[in-house]
Amino acid sequence: MIKHLLLDCLAAIFFITGCKAQPGNSFIQQKNDNTLLWQVSGNGLKHPSFLFGTFHLLCKDDIHFSRQLKNAIRASNEIYMELDMDDPSTMFSGIMYMNMNGGKKLEDLYTPVEYKKVQNYFADTLHMPLMLLQSAKPYFLVALLYPRMMNCASPVGVEEELVKIAKEDKKEIKGLETMQFQASVFDSIPYEWQAKELLKNIDSFPVYKNEFEKMVEMYKDQQLDSLKDMLSDSEFGSDKYEDLLLTNRNKNWVKQLKQIMPNESVFVAVGTGHLVGEFGLIRLLRKAEYKVTPLKNID
């Protein structure tokens, strides 16, 4: 599941652009699907809404937002992300819900040799004492490895940069999910399986780093088809819990959007992995009889 986690816990680069359209004017369409920015219209909507695919962390110098993307935000009434990134309680909730249920400890999930390997990696490579993270869900700990895949010392949150633009335009930020719900998803996945994934990430870190770098290049080029194929074909992927991590969440989001979009125009920014595939937002919205159009995203 490394690729889905990368798309949900990591970040990407916004080498994207657009036209100098003003809110209310038509947006320039893309001739093919190689874009991260999409317009949702039709099926009785009075005003279009927008989809944008993100990664969640990246080097600050690599984050660029196009004028057309900024105009899409400007033309929207509200911004929807996976979580309400404008609410201070979101981070607090993350701390509250990061621990495993039932008093489980990491040491319970490994053999003594395996646990020692994880413990040494956190101490020697991440410079974090594992004792302080004994109760954390292993998938949460996988995310701590990702900044080491990046070629900068201090990666920043792509969503945080989007929030800054939204605030400049005085747009309300809302979440499609709560931190409590996201934590419950990880509680539905056996902790033993999560622990194996953490160990696999540590053992195969150079391979995962190489895979991540390829993914970033695809994202920079906005090659959604290639990205979708990579998610499906990588030897390190696992579809075992795809329903929990992607499919069911996407269906729930579409259900919400069907209630929201008739009343207002919204800009939806979620991990790019949620856009693509048979049960991605693009295809699900089309099945719901909306017109989902690729927009030009290159200045």
Q: What is the pLDDT of residue 213?
A: 85
262 falls within a domain: yes
Q: Give the residue ranges of DSSP H helices in the chain.
A: 2-9, 67-75, 88-96, 112-124, 138-142, 158-168, 179-187, 191-203, 205-220, 224-233, 242, 248-260, 281-287
The residue among 239, 5, 202 whose CA lies nearest residue 110 is 202
Q: What is the pLDDT of residue 137?
A: 96
Other C-beta atoms closer than 10 Å to the C-beta of 229 total: 13
The tens place of each residue's pLDDT in the chain, 299 residues long, gives: 333 333 344 333 222 222 333 334 579 999 899 999 999 999 999 999 999 999 877 788 778 899 999 999 999 999 999 999 888 888 787 888 999 999 999 999 999 999 999 999 999 999 999 999 999 999 999 989 988 988 888 788 888 899 999 999 999 999 999 999 999 999 999 999 999 999 999 999 999 999 888 888 888 889 998 888 887 765 445 578 889 999 999 999 999 999 999 999 999 999 999 999 999 999 999 999 999 999 999 88
Q: How far apart are CA 3 and CA 201, in angstroms?
A: 11
Q: What is the pLDDT of residue 238?
A: 56
Sort 147 into a burial class: Cβ within 10 Å, 0-12 / 13-18 / 19+: middle
101 falls within a domain: no
96 falls within a domain: no
Task: Report pTM.
Answer: 0.87
Q: What is the pLDDT of residue 14?
A: 27
Domain containing 87: what range? 2-91+139-294
**How close are the terminal C-alpha atoms of the chain, in Å?**
34
Q: What is the pLDDT of residue 286?
A: 98
Other C-beta atoms closer than 10 Å to the C-beta of 103 total: 8
213 falls within a domain: yes
Q: What is the pLDDT of residue 227?
A: 84
108 falls within a domain: no
265 falls within a domain: yes
Q: How many domains does the chain have?
A: 1
The residue among 2, 37, 8, 10 whose CA lies nearest residue 149 is 10
130 falls within a domain: no
Q: How far apart are CA 114 and CA 221, in angstroms?
A: 39
Q: What is the pLDDT of residue 234?
A: 57
Single-letter amino acid code for the residue at 167 = K
Q: How far apart are CA 192 and CA 189, in angstroms?
A: 9
171 falls within a domain: yes
